[in-house]
Structure 1
């Protein structure tokens, strides 16, 4: 298998894990990504759209649906009178913690065939690729 095939196949496996974990909580992959971004920050709508690669109307709809479920909340930006920040609610944070634990278990299961040295090397190499 060449590098492209290996990465694509790995991507498919990771996407399957994410889709299954999301489905258990009635979340799409993009909703999972939204909650994952909000784990450690409170971005504005524009920044959120940039992270997710979504336009303004799509991000507004995504946030609105999560807000209706009680997972996120909007608040005025202290730095921009027209800006809105998005943050997890306590219910959203609990869901993130549960989902993160489930995904961690499944990804760990996927990588259990690697020894500790290989996992460290894989993490270093993957970090180079995602930070370019």
Structure 2
């Protein structure tokens, strides 16, 4: 790796750091406006992609399973999520977003004006490129 490649990577990491700090700062304020902690809001965001087991949620959110139980308990009490048996293993409980949970996460995202405005400054091709790059860097996992 050349010095330039290291610098480019370091610069990208710094931009990601600044971007994520801005995003999560705005997300935390928006979640609080719905009387949710950032962790509760993040849980709703993850569940927007589909139901997940408690252990998968804990792994995705990098938190202890007992902490995840407390987060889900509080969200369930508010009617934002529900526990349901896993279709593949009835001993496992999945957590799913309710209609109220979808409404709340949509409200949180709608309140993130700085993030929305920044993304809306991108044209269609730029959005597609950003989507592909984020998917490649953060979502795709190499086969092991």
TM-score grouping bracket, smaller chain normalisation: 0.7 to 0.9
C-alpha contact (below 8 Å) 2:81/2:97 kept by paired residues: yes
Report the TM-score when normalising by structure 2.
0.75
Larger mean Cα displacement after TM superposition, 26-35 or 92-101:
92-101
How do residues 58-73 of structure 1 correspond to structure 2 at under 5 angstroms?
A: 58-73=67-82
- Show the counterpart of 1:30: 39
C-alpha displacement of 1:23: 1.4
The runs of 5 or more residues in structure 1 that have no matched partner are: none
C-alpha displacement of 1:112: 5.0
* Distance change in 2, residues 1:76/1:121 (3 Å): closer
Taking the aligned partners of 1:116 and 1:93, their CA distance within structure 2 comes to 26
C-alpha contact (below 8 Å) 2:27/2:109 kept by paired residues: no
| 3-state SS of paired residue (1:73) | strand
Report the TM-score when normalising by structure 1.
0.81
Larger Rg: 2
C-alpha displacement of 1:42: 1.4
* Distance change in 2, residues 1:111/1:94 (3 Å): closer
How do residues 102-121 of structure 1 correspond to structure 2 at under 5 angstroms?
A: 102-103=111-112, 105-112=113-120, 114=122, 116-121=124-129
Taking the aligned partners of 1:6 and 1:24, their CA distance within structure 2 comes to 27
| 3-state SS of paired residue (1:79) | coil
Q: 1:50-107, CA deviations, whole angstroms, 9 ceiling, x for partnerless residues?
A: 221222211111101111122111123343232111112222122122223333x432
| 3-state SS of paired residue (1:86) | strand
Alignment of 1:49 with 2:55, yes or no, is no
